[in-house]
Structure 1
Amino acid sequence: MFSAKTSGSDEWKAILSAISTLVEEATFEATAEGISFRGMDPSHVALIDISWPNSAFEKYECDGDIKFGVRIDEFSKLIKRSDKTEAIEISLSDNMLLISIGKNKQYKMRLIESSATDTPLPKIPYDTRISLATGLFDKILGDVQVVSDYLTIKTNATKSEFSGKGDSGEVLISLQKQQDEPV
């Protein structure tokens, strides 16, 4: 049994947008603790590691460790059919992903056999941790993507800077540290 329900679509849209920049197919892992995804781009330069705890969902049920693979562009097309305030519920049934949007839309999407292997986290020491709402992070990625295919993140004790440079120009987005939050 697996079912996860969000009160709106923003989280799904942000997560799928971030994943789609690296891979075309994704294997999510659902456990009693929540949903996670870890993947690397084909050139093994960029890594995305998402952990979505069960407490972030309006309703969450998972009675075992379940892996399910999807084509990100197909999943994203369905999620984009939702309004910002429509609840989204996903569940699994007979090798299909069931997606309920609001009170009257239901989609069934075929799952894929994943060829992805477990992606270990690299052992790189970091001295900074940045916590952002998914909507804000998605907006930053979109703002940088207008001029660049690459994102550079710099931090210090008071702020975090997100920048990109491309043929058409440059962008710099600065966020000040909020009181009692990591930068």
Structure 2
Amino acid sequence: MFEARLAQGSLLKKIIEAIHNLVPEINMEVTSSGISVQAMDSSHVCLVFLELDAGAFDPFRCDKNITLGVSTANLLKVLRCAGNEDSITLRAKDDTDSMEVFIENTDQDRTSTFEIKLMDLDQERLGIPATEYDAVLKIPSGEFQRITRDISQFSDSMVISCTKEGVQFSTAPSTTEGSAKITLKDGAVMDKKGEGGVSIELNEPVSLTYACHFMGFFVKATPLSDKTIVSLKADRPMALEYPIGAIGHLRYYLAPKVESE
């Protein structure tokens, strides 16, 4: 038997909103420590990795490890029925072919029950090696979303370059639509309250190019977190993380474009 109730159900809705365009089908791996998801997009260029700690749910019950294969589109249809103040409970019996979703609003004494058919998905779970990155950037999520939007207007590629001077986001040199270049210095403050600054940890200068197509999907996770953590290393996939408070994190991995592209 598996049961997990999230009092702030809107978080789960935001998570699925952020990944459903990239991964239409996912395996939810449930263990006593929580819920995790690992899935690749159809082109096998990017990887979505989600971890939600068992302590974020009340109650959380997992009698034995279980894998729940679901359509993210179907799950999102159900979650969109929940209001911002509603709690969401996921429940599945052992050896079942469906998962139940309960949406509850205690103020209105209203409960909705949905059933989602499970899928038998053959998805390989990859090992993600620990990596010492050349540069780790912490940027307010709203600012990173704005940068991605601005660069995407002029190019289908974004170049991220980190030096001791700061970080620069720019269009690829081959663009014919025009060009854009945005530079942020370490310690830059992004709002009037003095909060949400830019932090850069630099081990080695690095300059890598990424597809704006995918970056546009990633920033859909902006509502989940005040900050975005961008980790870069030459010849390795970028790790783009959105911490979700004390609940867990959503992380995207994206391979850089090579020069021949």
TM-score class normalised by the smaller sequence: 0.7 to 0.9
* Shift in alpha-carbon separation, 1:21–1:34, aligned structure 2, 3 A: same
Which structure 2 residue ranges, 5 or more long, are not aligned? 105-109, 185-189, 191-195, 200-226, 230-261
**Aligned counterparts, 1:22-61, within 5 A:** 22-61=22-61
Q: Kindly indicate whether the alpha-carbon contact (under 8 Å) linking 2:151 and 2:158 is maintained by their aligned counterparts in 1.
A: no
Counterpart CA distance in 2 for 1:87 and 1:7 is 4
CA drift of 1:106 comes to 0.2
CA drift of 1:11 comes to 1.5
**Aligned counterparts, 1:90-129, within 5 A:** 90-93=90-93, 94-102=96-104, 103-121=110-128, 124-126=131-133
One-letter code of the match for 1:98?
E
SS at match of 1:69: strand
One-letter code of the match for 1:176?
G
The aligned residue for residue 2 of structure 2 is 2
CA drift of 1:83 comes to 0.2
Calculate percent identity across the aligned residue pairs.
Answer: 23
CA drift of 1:76 comes to 0.5
* Shift in alpha-carbon separation, 1:170–1:24, aligned structure 2, 3 A: farther
Which structure 1 residue ranges, 5 or more long, are not aligned? none
One-letter code of the match for 2:30?
A
Q: Kindly indicate whether the alpha-carbon contact (under 8 Å) linking 1:13 and 1:79 is maintained by their aligned counterparts in 2.
A: yes
* Shift in alpha-carbon separation, 1:155–1:97, aligned structure 2, 3 A: farther
Counterpart CA distance in 1 for 2:20 and 2:171 is 19
Q: Kindly indicate whether the alpha-carbon contact (under 8 Å) linking 2:36 and 2:50 is maintained by their aligned counterparts in 1.
A: yes
What's the RMSD between the two structures over aligned residues?
A: 4.0
Give the stretch that moved more between structures: 13-22 or 82-91.
13-22
Q: Kindly indicate whether the alpha-carbon contact (under 8 Å) linking 1:144 and 1:163 is maintained by their aligned counterparts in 2.
A: no
TM-score by length of 2: 0.54
Counterpart CA distance in 2 for 1:11 and 1:151 is 29
Deviations 1:41-63 (A, max 9, x none): 12221111111101112321112
One-letter code of the match for 2:16?
L
Question: Which protein shows a greater Rg?
Answer: 2
One-letter code of the match for 1:114?
L
Q: Kindly indicate whether the alpha-carbon contact (under 8 Å) linking 2:6 and 2:57 is maintained by their aligned counterparts in 1.
A: yes
Counterpart CA distance in 2 for 1:25 and 1:84 is 25
Counterpart CA distance in 1 for 2:60 and 2:167 is 33
SS at match of 1:104: strand
SS at match of 1:12: helix
Q: Kindly indicate whether the alpha-carbon contact (under 8 Å) linking 1:40 and 1:119 is maintained by their aligned counterparts in 2.
A: no
Counterpart CA distance in 2 for 1:20 and 1:164 is 27
List structure 1 segments (4+ residues) > 3 angstroms apart after TM superposition. 122-125, 127-132, 136-157, 159-167, 169-175
TM-score by length of 1: 0.73
SS at match of 1:16: helix
CA drift of 1:153 comes to 7.1
Counterpart CA distance in 2 for 1:42 and 1:58 is 34
SS at match of 1:121: coil
